[in-house]
Structure formats: structure tokens, C-alpha cells
Amino acid sequence: MAETSNLKNHNLNQQSSSNPALNSLLKKSKTYLTTNQILLIREAYTFSNESHQGQVRKSGEPYINHPLSVASILAEMKMDAVSIAAAILHDVVEDTAAGKDDIQKRFGSEIAKIVDGVSKIDKNIKFISRNEAQAENFSKMMLAMSNDLRVILVKLADRLHNMRTLDCLSKEKKLRIAKETLEIYVPIALRLGMNKLRLELEEISFRTINPLRYKIIRNAVKNHRGNKTKFLDDIKEKINDRLSDLNIKADLYARQKNPYSIYKKMKKKNLSFNAVFDIYGIRVVASKIDECYRIFGATHNLFKPIPGKFKDYIAIPKSNGYQALHTVLFGPNAIPIEIQIRTKEMDQFAESGIASHWQYKTGGHSSAQAYARDWLQKIMEMKQNTLNSVDLLENIKVDLFPDEIYVFTPKGEIKELPYRSSVIDYAYAIHSDVGNKCTSAKINNIDVPLSTTLSSGQTVEIITTPLGKPNPSWLEFVATVKARTNIKSYLRNMQSEQAADLGLRILDKALYDYGTSYTEIPYHSIRRLLNEYNLKDINDLFVEIGLGNIVPHLAAQNIAIKKSFVKQKYHDWVSKVLGSKKVENIAIKGTEGLVLNYAKCCRPIPGDEVVGLTSSGNGFVVHRLVCNNIKKIKSKKLFIEWSDDVEGEYQTQIRVFSEKQRGVLANVAGVISRLSCNIENVKFDEEQNPYASFVFTLEVKNRKQLADVIKELKKLKNINKVMRTVG
């Protein structure tokens, strides 16, 4: 047996000597993998080398060196042999004649699935844009990652080596790849706790996108370091002496912020370079958790802490599993210095994240994997509630935002939310139904608006009612993907219901113009129309008409037949919606806000004579009949009227001409407020002396209320004329 093993090792060494990249990989792998695992890596190299034969990179080097370098990055992380073999094979499916089945036959399904997860979608599939292709490939990778976390580790290593070799690419391609890396792969590495890899990706991306800023900050850090070396040494010596007195053994290191982190902080907080106090800090690595807290106490006794700068990530870890105590102290000469305190295990995890806790060999699941899987579960929930991959990618970008806040439920439970989360985000974090039905909230027992931004340490209580429902305006201030996707899903369903109801009424009105009605159309005519527009059922037809995607009179022209019958199920359904009332004009209530839009050129309000125009994808736009823009449009108009039970408030504009006297504007605003109207905006237009004019954008319930406002304004002293604007 020993003789066979020696023979294998001899053959291995003999075969690998010709490729320095392979030699480097095997040298790293042999420090922790078995002989059989090394042979698996060697076999993967043989297959990949044969498949990529003749291929070269942009730099001119053999293509095989790229997958070997990717595998070498994983070997530095001490990843398992399966991951390393998959890394060597990761471009075979995408760039060679070999397929997934070939890899599966030779290396098994485990490696084949990882390779497939990293590979881009088939080149033969055509996408509308690069963004769509990127989103679809990312969605595919996320799905594969949910089954095996090693997919993303291989992809991150692949991206890192591509970033290291950017120089041979065109400027345009370098910028695109660097931007994509900062937007997607850097946050993923951060989410998985892979700090060392993240920092290098950030460094190269920042250097590529903003070379001048990178150079300026790097030089400033270099100059700053010369002044801070003795300062840091003095602090380390003082802390070491204090720990010796307490009989605590710990390692102390000086820590330096990378240029991109400094740039982000300067930009986010609008600081100058000299105002960033944590460019350098000290990291203290202890053996036990209780020692971390003792060291924390010792440093606070040694130097005065800056209030509000202490963070206990040991008791409440970050979303990626990161743990440490952070505090900022006034060092000698009152210079602030950040101290990070953590155990050796926490320090190892902070550098390598999920890669440092890999346990596939034992089948266990580390805390790092648990955090990663929780995040992946959220992504799978996102995917279920998202219509397309482009939206999914945008949602994931939002979810990857690194900062967190921690708030409490009334029962004292901790809820973790992204930075700048609102009350609505918190409501959806509790449960989707709570978010959908919330109507008000309290923070620390004080009533607050739903748009209120939360801060760590607050206790939040949500008040719900059965009639509560999401408002489209919520999308303007929510920060979490869960809130955003739930609100969009609810509004999408509501929009479909509104569009279907409006579409049926519009189609029936169009058919009325042809002397018939929907209930008189035979089923085969309806079916023919559905086939023509490639729609599944009649409800889809109504929705498309209601959204303005299908011109109602063209649809009516295709199916208009007098005095016929329709299948009973359609007859019953239509009769239920339309009743026995004969349709002439379409009546609107004002609650169809998701499928009806009110033109800003003429700002119609209840009581005005109105007309509708088709706007593809946005339903119908309602104009006043006297609107100047209506006269220019020759397309078919939809004649509509206001329902008797109109709801809501509507924006309109009035122009007020007045003499230039002090207090005129205040008097006008006072009258408008007294008549229960909101002023949305005021614009001042200077006229010929001694006159001036003001354009007020108001919210009114109907034409009568507006008439009352105009009547009362005309009574004011120094007011010459009041009139409503017309588009």
C-alpha cells in the first residue's frame, strides 16, 4: 500500500513540474488535503487543460492558468478538494465543447452542480440587454448557491482573479467589471464575512474607477502613518502593561482602514480626510469571550471613552455573523482611537468568514453557514415575489446594504433592520400581514408617522386595522426588500383588479358605439380575440385594456356582432359587474388611482367635463374637455364622467393677480386654509408693476369647493383677479 502511495506521489510530482501555477496550487493543497484529494485536483487539471487546449487569455497566457489561479485562491482559504476541483473546471462548460454531463460522468454530480452554478446561461439564449443577461445569470447563480454555498465561494475567487488581471482589458470593460464588482460581489463577500477577499476587491475596483482619488487618499494615508506610528506604539504599550497587571494574555495589532473605506466615510458623512479619526486603530485578540469584556473595561479605565461610540457585536452579531467589541477612546493629546476586541476564533472569522468555518467533511453546519443560509432563504422568498430577474437583482443590491440597526418589539425581542429603515420596514419584518394592515405606530410610546426613520435602541409598536392596506407612497421611504416586494405584490394585485373592472367597462362602452354589448358577443369571437393578443383568458384581456395596452375600439371592431349569445359563465360574470344598467359614459370614482392618471397639464377635478386618452402601460390619462392638449390629439378618445360618490382629493391650480402689497400672500393662504384646502405648492410670477401673480397648486374635493375658494379670494383687498389655469 505504501509503495502504491509513493508511486502516485512520484507520478503527481513528475506531471505537475511543467506548470508553475499547478505546482503552486498543489503545494498549498498538500498542507491540509489527503493524497486521494490531491489526485482529484490533478485529474480535474488534466480534464480542464485538455478542454481549454489552444485557448489564451487577453494577456496572451494559456487560459488554464486562470482556473488554476482561482483554485489557488480557494486553497489559501483551505477549502475542500471538491471546491478546488470545481474551480479548476469552472469555465469548461461555458467556454469549451465539454458539457455538464461530461463533468458529471467523470467527477460526479456534486462537482458538476457547482460548475453549472458558476457557469453563465447558454450563449444561444438572446437577451434584450446586458442588464437582463447579468440579472438572469445572477439569478441562476443564487439558485445554485441556495443548494450549495460553495458555488458563491468559487464565483468570488473567480471574480478576484479577474480583478487582479484587469489591466489587459479595454478601459470601458475595466470600468464595467469594476463597477459590477463594487455593486454586487463586494457586498456579497461582506455578507458572507469574507473580509480579506472583500478588501482586495474594493481596493482594485476603487483604483480602477477613481484612480486619481485612490492615489490622493493612498498618499494621504502614507503621510498620516508616519505621524501615527509612535502614537500607536505608545497606546499599545500602555494597554499591554494594563493587561499584564490583570494577568490577561492578548495580541495587539495596529489596524489601517483601506482607501475605499476612507473614501466611503468621507462621502457619506461629508468629512475631510483629517476629520476621519479611525484611519488607524488597534485590534486586541484575546483567548476567551469573558476576557474581551475585561479588556474592554481595562481600556475604558485607561483612556476616556467617547460617548455613543461603543458597539457590542458579541452580544448582537452583525448580519454576516461578525463578532467583536468596538469602542472609540480619547488617546494621548485627546486624539480619538478606535479599539476592536475579539477572540481568536472571531478574528479568524472576521478575515475569512464562511470559508473559515467550512464543515462539509463532517457534515456539520457552523454559525457562519447558518447566517449565510438565513440570507439565502430571504433571497428565495424574494424570488417568489419578484416578477423578473432584473427586479430580483435590484432587490438583492438593496438587501446587501451593510449597515444595520437594532430595534425592540414591545415584548423586548430584538429586530435587526438595514440602516435607514422606516416604521413600515419594521412592520413587514414582524409579518407580511402586519405590514399590509398597519395604519399607525408608536416609538417609545409616542405616536409617529409611518415614514419615520428608525434608530437603534428604539421600542416600536405597530397599530393595525382590518381595513388597513398598503399605499403606493410607502415605496418612497421603505429600505428593506421584504417590505418593497410585499407592497409591490399587493399593489400589483390591486392594480389588476382595478384594471380588469375598468377594462370591462371600457370595452363594453366601445362595443356600445358599434351597436352591441359584451354580453351579446359569442364565445368563439372572444376566443379568437384572445388568441390574436396571445392572452390566456378574458380577465387578461380586461386587464390589458384597463392598463391601456390594448386600444378598446380596435378590440371592439374585431368582435362586434349584434344579437348573439355568449357562454353562460361569461354572461353571468359580466352581468354581475355591469348589472342591467346600459353603459354610455364610463363613470369614475377617483379610487382607480393605479390605472387612472390625472393630467398635470389641466388637472381635472370632480365636476369637470372630462375625457380619457390611452397611455400604454399607465392605463388612461384623464383630461378636462377644455384642455388645449386634447385638441392636438387625433386618436380615439374615451368619454368618461364622474360618479356620484367620488372619493379623495385632487390637485388643481389657480392664478391670483394682486397688487404688490405686504401681507397679500399670507391673506390668500389664510382663506385657502380656512376653506379646508391644502396648498401643495406656490409659485411667484412677477408681472408689470404694480401687479404680481401667484400660481397656487391646491388639493380640493370637487369643483364646488374650488368655486368657493375663488369666490372668497376675490373678496380680498388688493386682489385684482383669480382664475383657474387651463392646460
Q: Where are the domains of the chain?
A: 2-209, 221-356, 370-480, 488-588, 650-724
Mean pLDDT for the stretch of residues 159-180: 90
Catalytic machinery residues: 94-95
Closest to 325 measured CA to CA, from 333, 335, 315: 315
Residue 360 pLDDT > 70, yes or no? no
Closest to 151 measured CA to CA, from 160, 142, 159: 142
- Segment 666-717, tens digit of pLDDT: 888 888 888 888 888 888 776 556 677 888 889 898 889 999 999 999 888 8
Which three three-digit cell numbers place residue 447? Answer: 405616536
Quote the pLDDT of residue 2. Answer: 40
Quote the pLDDT of residue 554. Answer: 77
Residue 401 pLDDT > 80, yes or no? no
Quote the pLDDT of residue 400. Answer: 56
Quote the pLDDT of residue 408. Answer: 86
Task: Name the percent of the chain lying above pLDDT 90.
Answer: 22
Taking a C-beta distance cutoff of 8 angstroms, is the pair 533, 545 a contact? no
Quote the pLDDT of residue 85. Answer: 94
Mean pLDDT for the stretch of residues 503-521: 79
Which three three-digit cell numbers place residue 459? Answer: 421600542
Mean pLDDT for the stretch of residues 93-120: 87
Angle, CA 94 vertex, CA 90 and CA 96 arms, to 5°: 100
Quote the pLDDT of residue 664. Answer: 81
What 3 state SS string does 327-340 have?
A: EEEECHHHCEEEEE
Taking a C-beta distance cutoff of 8 angstroms, is the pair 181, 201 a contact? yes
In sequence order, what E strands does 268-351 have? 280-286, 304-305, 311-312, 325-330, 336-343
Mean pLDDT for the stretch of residues 228-236: 84
- Segment 18-53, tens digit of pLDDT: 688 899 899 999 998 899 999 999 999 999 999 999
Give backbone dihedrals phi and psi of 149, rounded to 5 degrees, phi first. -65, -20
Quote the pLDDT of residue 322. Answer: 85
Beta bridge partners of 682: 696
Which residue is it, cell 489552444? 54
Q: How far is CA 255 from CA 176, 268, 550, 603, in A?
A: 31, 21, 63, 60
Quote the pLDDT of residue 694. Answer: 85
Taking a C-beta distance cutoff of 8 angstroms, is the pair 319, 404 a contact? yes
Mean pLDDT for the stretch of residues 121-139: 53
Residue 571 pLDDT > 70, yes or no? no
Distance (Å, rounded) from C-alpha 430 to C-alpha 11? 60
**Topology classification of domain 2-209:** Hypothetical protein af1432 (1.10.3210)
Taking a C-beta distance cutoff of 8 angstroms, is the pair 463, 438 a contact? yes
The per-residue pLDDT of the chain, averaged, comes to: 80
Which residue is it, cell 387612472? 596
CB 333: neighbour CB atoms within 10 A?
6
Question: Which CATH code is given to the segment(s) 221-356?
Answer: 3.30.460.10
- Segment 428-453, tens digit of pLDDT: 989 989 999 998 899 988 888 888 98
Angle, CA 202 vertex, CA 198 and CA 205 arms, to 5°: 135
- Segment 244-291, tens digit of pLDDT: 999 999 999 888 888 998 888 888 778 888 777 778 889 999 999 999
User: Does 317 or 268 have the greater pLDDT score?
Assistant: 317
Question: Which CATH code is given to the segment(s) 370-480?
Answer: 3.10.20.30
Among the listed ranges 107-121, 127-141, 398-412, 430-444, which one has the minimum average pLDDT value? 127-141
Q: At the top level of CATH, which class does the domain 650-724 belong to?
A: alpha beta
